[in-house]
Structure 1
Amino acid sequence: KILHGTTIEIAWTVTPSLILVLIAIPSFALLYSMDEVVDPAVTIKAIGHQWYWSYEYSDYNQSDNEGLLFDSYMIPEDELELGQLRLLDVDNRVVVPV
């Protein structure tokens, strides 16, 4: 004899669905709160080239209406100091206050 467990089938279908809905509601609230745009203190545009990085501080406009621009190259091997790394180490590091 085959028993039809309709009640248990409804229970194990509805219960996980309710759990997922209860998890999703706070997640959507968090997602929308993270989408708020905050006015940054400093804007830095970093562009990666093949062998160097270019940085632009657009908040500090100069007389030609361009931001403060500079390039950062890797340190040549003969200029390395003892213990200084060559891999991805550049001569001008960017430190952003948080």
Structure 2
Amino acid sequence: ALLRDKALVVWLKAQPETLLSRIGNVDSRPLLHSKHSQKQSNETPIQILTRLNTIRTPFYEQAHLHVNTDGLSKRQAASKVMNAIADCLAITNTSKGA
């Protein structure tokens, strides 16, 4: 909530499978190793991402903007984010009479 009050917060929404494909080498991501998992089980990286997504979604949903990036390249995702921010700012300025 604090961040939301001080800045425009954007949730780059993607399915766990998409996130895993973007991460690439999971060895560089300690959170995706089952030994660092809160469950201390033999979870796979996709299972960990799915669980974290379930836990974190209620917090992410508080973002001002939700931008689905599934199936998009980095350039397409960036463009979609910039357009969403521009639209949000235009609406905000219009509602303030600017």
| Greater fraction strand | 1
Whether these two folds match at TM > 0.5 is no
TM-score, structure 2 length as denominator?
A: 0.22
Q: Which has the higher contact order (CA 8 A, sep 6+)?
A: 2
| Greater fraction helix | 2
TM-score, structure 1 length as denominator?
A: 0.22
Structure with higher Rg: it is 1
